[in-house]
Amino acid sequence: MTPPAAPKYLDAGEGALVVEFGREVDPAVNARVMALDAALAAEAPAGLVELVPTYRSLMVHYDPLVLPRAALIARIARLMDGLRAATKPRARWVLPVCYDGDCGEDVAAIAEWAKLTPEQVIALHSGAIYRVYMYGFAPGWCYLGGLPKELGISRRAAPRPPIPPNTIIIAGGLSLVATNSMPTGWWLIGRTAERMMRLDRDPAFLAEPGDELRFARVDRATFDRLDARAAAGVTVSYREPAS
């Protein structure tokens, strides 16, 4: 196997450096982003402000008056040398998900597009293991890689009205756990009883970028019971060893 190419270093102003490993969504590219994110966080130089991992690049916010650009790049290059292609995920979170009725409002439409039955769509989605690629769009909106390719439906032609909180949506080969109610161009496949973001919990965000996630199917009655418990502040997901 040929060693992966060196990343590109791009400036986003004088206080942010984009370390770009690729321009496409690709598990191997994201694995390198996560590995550098973890390595830099473990050995944060003075002047490092924030790390923002995304699908394909790591944005390093830094104070150039404390940490000169050249020193930052030298540090990253040194870390890259010792970096394994992929770091083991820190944890795997198992989220209870209801796919029935209005929770999985678009399961039938997805099944029709995929030429599968609704039960097959649910089995595929709840049988896969996902990785948190990044957060974005709004606080706690968690973008996941690992959607089975049979479910690679494109976005809707036009956005639909706001989705209920904690909805799981898919489009363009990705799955996403949404936290709050927003309009979306994605398809609604299920709803989790867990809260990805809860400000009164420590940590406020359930999963770190790089963590694994999977969905455990529950029926509507179980969902309603767990959702009520989650609303009262109880954590209703659980953690299992990552692969």
Looking at 7, 140, 145, 190, which residue binds other proteins (CB under 8 A)? 140
Nearer to other proteins, 47 or 118 (CB): 47
Q: How far is the CB of 108 from other proteins (least distance, A)?
A: 29
Looking at 87, 120, 126, 180, which residue binds other proteins (CB under 8 A)? 180
Q: How far is the CB of 16 from other proteins (least distance, A)?
A: 4
Nearer to other proteins, 60 or 110 (CB): 60
Work out the angle between the directed axes of helices 69-81 and 27-42 (0-180°, nearest 10): 110
Binding mask 63-92 for other proteins (x = CB under 8 A): -xx--xx-----------------------
Q: How far is the CB of 115 from other proteins (least distance, A)?
A: 27
Q: How far apart are CA 100 and CA 217, in angstroms?
A: 10
Which one of the spans 10-18, 71-79, 151-159, 184-192 is the region binding other proteins (CB under 8 A)?
10-18
Binding mask 18-47 for other proteins (x = CB under 8 A): x-x--xxx----------------------
Q: How far is the CB of 92 from other proteins (least distance, A)?
A: 18
The reply on whether position 50 binds other proteins by CB under 8 A is yes
Looking at 32, 56, 92, 217, which residue binds other proteins (CB under 8 A)? 56
The reply on whether position 199 binds other proteins by CB under 8 A is yes
SS (H, E, C) the chain: CCCCCCCEEEECCCCEEEEECCCCCCHHHHHHHHHHHHHHHHCCCCCEEEEEECCCEEEEEECCCCCCHHHHHHHHHHHHHCCCCCCCCCCEEEEEEECCHHHHCCHHHHHHHHCCCHHHHHHHHHHCCEEEEEECCCCCCEEEECCCHHHCCCCCCCCECCCCCCEEEEECCEEEECCCCCCECCEEEEEECCCCECCCCCCCECCCCCCEEEEEECCHHHHHHHHHHHHCCCCCCEEECCC
Whether 190 contacts 214, CB under 8 Å: no
Query: Where do contacts with other proteins occur on this chain (CB under 8 A)?
Result: 10-16, 18, 20, 23-25, 49-59, 61, 64-65, 68-69, 134-143, 180, 197, 199, 204-205, 209
